[in-house]
Structure 1
Amino acid sequence: MKRVGVTVLSIVTIAALVCGCNVSQPSDSLNTGEPQASKVQLRFLQNKLEAKEIFNELITAFEKQHPNIEITQINDREAEQLLTSMVAKNDAPDLVAIGATDTFVTLANTAVFSDFSGDPSVKNIMPTYIDTVRALSSSGQINGIPYSANVNGILYNKALFRQFGLQIPKTWPELISLAESIREKKQTPFTSHLKKHGRLWCLLMQ
């Protein structure tokens, strides 16, 4: 199966870039009959419609520095569904920019993505982000290079915290422990109005 490059946005929300490439076959010139130099043809799939022009600018700048490479951007709001379909047809794109979602985890665990464990660029990224990406793969591989991170906030109900004598957690283990203690009090620890979209951008303690 063809391995591809991916961008991952994860939990902390991380994005990563992985690559493989297809080389187009040389074609004969219609004017001279002489063969033209072959170019490396890469397809880049990403799901941020608002980032399309920015990526086009980056692609143009890259192609000027590497005239033997041509990149075609595939920009689709339903990029994850499209990616899954392309992989199923053994026609995966060469580069992918997506979030570290269930789709990424599923594909990472089917060895679709390249392993960047030995890539020197990994040394330039905070270990915490690399560990996050590594944890998403059952094989412990680094299947994406993080290039951005978002912070997700948690809102809490002050009245209920006072009522139950709860302290604001400062670490992840403390948050999990707090949630368990709230559940023991027959209360719902977390709710999210964005859960249906597959991300818990905002967690509300009721």
Structure 2
Amino acid sequence: MVAVKAVLLDLDGTLLDTVLDLHAAANGMQRDLGNAEVAIEDIRAYVGRGIPNLVKRVLAGVLEAADDPTPPPADALASFKKHYEHFNGRAAKPFPGVMEGVRALKAMGLPLGVITNKAQAFTLPLLERTGLAPFMDVVVSGDILPKPKPDPMPVIWACGRLGVSPADTLLIGDSVHDFKAGRSGGCKVFLVPYGYNEGQDVRGLDADAIVETLFDAAQLVTRA
């Protein structure tokens, strides 16, 4: 068992399966630009480092496009955001065990938070539309602090808002970026194997646990 005072959760790929919405927005952008549409499997691989990097990956057709610090073309980014505003939350749904896990954690009296690289303009409506908003005590979107994940800044900031130490906090995510943010921020880290991990199997990371569902995670947690 892991004794904690708060739990922080990644959004896309951990709490919610959002790939259908993102796929629809990406192909809307591609049509606007006169480009070929992309496969949903590609979008699933490209998710994880925020919308600007997703746009760069879609345009280039490779994961490595996110390593280039150059911003995506303004017209492409604007097009994607226009379409995503329309599709955001329409097909997104919690992964199996998420609602049960969230309820179990809240029943222990644990404060919960979301840490995502998604922009706040999309994060808050998505949480509302999928029924997760009432469970969250803090939400840290990718554009409200100078540094997003994998930097630990969002983790440390969220812990401060919740009034807990990172050492007493559990972060649950689906990727190496979540792992790095949690570990370097001083948190305990659980990882789920089903999410958007950019092709890197999280089972190879030194997490405190690999959990098949969020409900399984809740069974390993007790309130400190």
TM tier relative to shorter chain: 0.3 to 0.5
TM-score when normalising by structure 1: 0.35
TM-score when normalising by structure 2: 0.33
Instruction: Name the structure where helix makes up a greater proportion of residues.
Output: 2
